[in-house]
Amino acid sequence: MRRRVLTAVGATGYDAPRMTRPLPLKNDRVLRAFRKQPVDVTPVWIMRQAGRYMPEYRAIRAKADFLTLCKTPDLVTEATLLPIDLLDVDAAIIFSDILIPVEAMGMELVFTDARGPQLPKPIRDRGDVERLKAFDPETLTGFVMASIRQTNRALDGRVPLLGFAGAPFTLATYMVEGETSKHFYRIKRLAYEDPSLLHRLLERLTGVVAEYLVAQVAAGAHAVQLFDTWAGALSPDDYATWCVPYTTRIVDAVKRTGVPVVLYVNGSGTLLEAMADTGVDVISVDWRVDLADAKRRVGGRVALQGNLDPCALYAGPDVIRREATRVLEKYGPGPGHVFNLGHGILPDIPVPHAKALVTAVHEESRVYHRSGA
């Protein structure tokens, strides 16, 4: 599988991402922190930073349904830039959805505001897995690559642009459950009853995700984040079985392009060491992990991203500053911390609260980077 990915890389010229990134970055704090290099202040971005909580985003969504937005580079560029203009975050992340490559593999995908993503014909047997289409990122998800190129032109080097993908287990969960699940019982039942079929599906997805992320880097993504959101529903043994080998191969393929890789799992308190074993550069932790404890456990091997409780942004600016400062204190001095929420920003947070967070992180973190760049 690793060889197949690299062949694809060579064949399409994806091993030359520099070609598509001619602009020097005016603000490279996030990339420096991902690489544990000194910075002047702790960089910050926010998961789902372009989203429903912003009136400006809702205005874009009024023009197009969610999937159409994802497939229209002009609109993607507009949405991706919103938090750069409005919040002063230190990174942009390309506006998209983790299920885009799943749709490209031939699965019907529907988004409803009330119920989130729906896959009306979920994977039920081996035939469903075998019928999944071969994936080619430039032809099947060319709109993502075009959006990355266009967004980078619009950003003009102000901040780095992050690419992203869902990790195989989380994508497989959606493909088997057909929707966001509470107990994940179909995917777990499959794991218990037909492990070879689930491994086969994860194999397919590993190739897809690796090619998809390498293509994003070739198009100009300065770093990528792998979302294994639902992996936190697994026991550590099951995480080792169903996630670590596949994630490791993807990380390996992407790191050969030279960009940092971030891995996020929601509920990763018992998984940090196994996540670090995948070779990622950065682990993005949720708020239920004590950041000082995470640093002690895996900080020697990876940079850390996180980890304010998204609910803290319901509070006013003073409380937000206090809570942000607590997170900064937990990480303490030294490089290797990118501030973020522990999960995506909630849809009813006031925009000024998000802005207050970014300001507080930049101001309160200076003390930890006295010898910084």
Q: How far is the CB of 236 from a copy of itself (least distance, A)?
A: 4
Cβ proximity to a copy of itself, 3 vs 183, nearer residue: 183
Query: Is 249 a known active-site residue?
Result: no
Q: How far is the CB of 136 from a copy of itself (least distance, A)?
A: 35
Cβ proximity to a copy of itself, 274 vs 358, nearer residue: 274
Query: Is 296 a known active-site residue?
Result: no
Query: Is 322 a known active-site residue?
Result: no
Q: Which of 52, 186, 256, 366 is catalytic?
A: 52
Sign (positive/negative) of CA torsion 46, 49, 54, 56? Answer: positive
Cβ proximity to a copy of itself, 316 vs 352, nearer residue: 316
Quick one: three-class SS letters along the chain?
A: CHHHHHHHHHHHCCCCHHHHCCCCCCCCHHHHHHCCCCCCCCCECCCCCCCCCCHHHHHHHCCCCHHHHHCCHHHHHHHHHHHHHHHCCCCEECCCCCCHHHHHCCCCCEEECCCEEECCCCCCCHHHHHCCCCCCHHHHCHHHHHHHHHHHHHHCCCCCEEEEEECHHHHHHHHHHCECCCCCHHHHHHHHHCHHHHHHHHHHHHHHHHHHHHHHHHHCCCEEEEECHHHHHCCHHHHHHHCHHHHHHHHHHHHCCCCCEEEECCCCCCCHHHHHHCCCCEEECCCCCCHHHHHHHHCCCCEEEEEECHHHHHCCHHHHHHHHHHHHHHHCCCCCEEEEECCCCCCCCCHHHHHHHHHHHHHHCHHHHCCCC
Tell me how far CA of residue 132 lies from CA of 17, 105, 234, in angstroms: 29, 5, 25
Q: How far is the CB of 47 from a copy of itself (least distance, A)?
A: 14
Cβ proximity to a copy of itself, 143 vs 184, nearer residue: 184
Query: Is 61 a known active-site residue?
Result: yes
Cβ proximity to a copy of itself, 147 vs 307, nearer residue: 307
Enumerate binding residues for a copy of itself (CB under 8 A).
183-185, 188-189, 192-193, 232-238, 267, 269-270, 287-290, 293, 309-312, 314-316, 319, 323, 326, 346
Cβ proximity to a copy of itself, 13 vs 316, nearer residue: 316
Q: Which of 14, 174, 246, 264 is catalytic?
A: 174
Q: How far is the CB of 240 from a copy of itself (least distance, A)?
A: 10
Cβ proximity to a copy of itself, 48 vs 369, nearer residue: 48
Q: How far is the CB of 237 from a copy of itself (least distance, A)?
A: 7
Q: Which of 15, 74, 97, 136 is catalytic?
A: 97
- Could you tell me the two tokens for 262? 């971030």
Angle between helix 185-193 and helix 168-177 axes, rounded to 10 deg: 100
Q: Which of 61, 204, 249, 321 is catalytic?
A: 61
Q: How far is the CB of 313 from a copy of itself (least distance, A)?
A: 10
Nearest CA to 223 out of 255, 252, 197 is that of 255
Q: How far is the CB of 235 from a copy of itself (least distance, A)?
A: 5
Provide the annotated active-site residues.
Answer: 48, 52, 61, 97, 174
